[in-house]
Structure 1
Amino acid sequence: MNQEQLSKVGSGRGFLAALDQSGGSTPKALEQYGVPASAWSDDDEMFDLMHEFRSRIITAPSFTGDRVLAAILFEQTMDRDVDGVPTPSYLWDRKRVVPFVKVDEGLAEERDGVRLMKPFTRLDGLLERATGRGVFGTKMRSFIARADKGGIAAVLDQQFGYAERILAAGLVPIIEPEVDIHSGDKAAAEDLLLEGIVDRLAGVPEGRQVMLKLSIPSRDDFYAGLIADPKVLRVVALSGGYTQQEADERLARNHGLIASFSRALTQDLRRDQSDAEFDEVLAKAIAAISRASGT
């Protein structure tokens, strides 16, 4: 494991950029960017346009390791190049941004108030490619709609089960059991989630660490204990549908919790902006999210 990357992710000042929209969320991300669905005729053209967008972010002057600790990539982005350089290498060698990759294959239908991840069908091959391309860690997302004890236990059993395989491959897993910010019992779900995470952290081998990506909690500093846990490298927060301003305000009230935002990072970027305008807007978003992350 790259010790410089480990130190940067574990104690660096800044946030994680989530650039991992997959097939289901790509059309919406492109539409927000100013690219209508009529601009592509198949998935290959759609993903080409998305890679163009991500490359523009990654190569922008303001996107550097000074404030962006790491970037979470979609599998196709990991496998592609930026300016003729493999994307993970470009991020680390030129920007000092640590590369992660999304490894889940989407969500199953809701049951017991949650959506588990679909069973992984190609994890071993993906982890091998990720390791070969210099990726530091992974991310996988589940979804919690309500405070169902059995459902939340199933989410965590699945997440920590896959985390064992990822740790064995020499990568650091980001476990993301997202709680719906619109849930009527969000705080109760967070109670069950925290209890379940603490129980399962005991099973993480000594000397190994996982990361957690969680919805910004209903109660400020609710995850302080997890942030201090020696088996947790870092706890990061997703924006979960909040606007950038609201996500930043909520995040800033949680000490030690840093951002891993997607929509809140890119919401004001447009394809028809000049490169200078694009970078100016991106720089403002990076500065605001970095301040909310305590830097």
Structure 2
Amino acid sequence: MLGLEYFTFEEQWSPLFLAFMLLLTAAYFAVTGPLSSRFQGSEPVSAGRKLLFVSGMLSMYIAQGGPVSLLGHTMFSFHMVSMAMSYLVATPLLILGIPVWLWRSFDRVNPFGRSLGFLTRPVLSAVLFNGLFSLYHFPAIHDFVMLNFWVHRAYYLILFIASILMWWSILQPIPEKDRSTGLAKMGFIFLNMVLLTPACALIIFASEPMYATYSDPAIWAKAMGYCVSGDPSALLNRFGGPEFFGVMDPKVDQRVGGIIMKFFQEIIFASMLAYVFFHWYKRENEEDDPLPAEVSSASGMLS
């Protein structure tokens, strides 16, 4: 399906990356389980929070190590699915999956907290993440990154860190450090939705394919050489180019990719907007009613 049958198990599932992700997951369960007593203020971690963390790790693995990653080298639309899963789905799940007491422990020993704390400021973190994401999708930069293995790895790591900073400003997992009002958070979410729009629009409305990685057979083969074994030139002899795997014309595939990214962003941020509004509205109502719940209930019965 989609050409996956032409690649080996190792090429589709990246066993080394899978082992790394499993190791991190095992470390999480050890720290939140038998080793939790070593952390100040530790409490039992709910099954729901653990599920969030595992879901985040699974999303990251599928996007960066599973078949979606491989397909992202043959079709631009899958590249965008990989980006959305990595930075809009996996990151917030991982942040929410880590218990508050563990975040507090990390914050106490974090050597960069004071010097780099300004990077978590909402507007700056939004501009940083969306700017790096948009910059990456300029054709010349995208093709350069895809053709240079260590640059590719470094850029993706930087994007991941930037996405953590961006989501941190929205979610702020340490309650006593959450100084943003619900209205401010909603404005910040809207800002993120706006900042990514120009890059998506550029991709969606381009009159021709923008990326040589998905349209030039020689460049495609070189980029594929970083995720499959053997001589990249053999890919050209065997398949001829990326169009062998494409179920759409390259221009259509590119437009679908831009739509997918914007769709993911709109759905996820709209859901987050509803979540923030609900909690903000609930908190505002509680502040408007200074009487304890029992007193309010009794007053209602007497009236």
TM-score range, shorter chain: under 0.3
TM-score by length of 1: 0.27
Higher strand share: 1
Higher helix share: 2
TM-score by length of 2: 0.27
Question: Which structure's relative contact order is higher, taking Cα pairs within 8 Å and 6+ residues apart?
Answer: 2
Structure having the higher Rg: 2
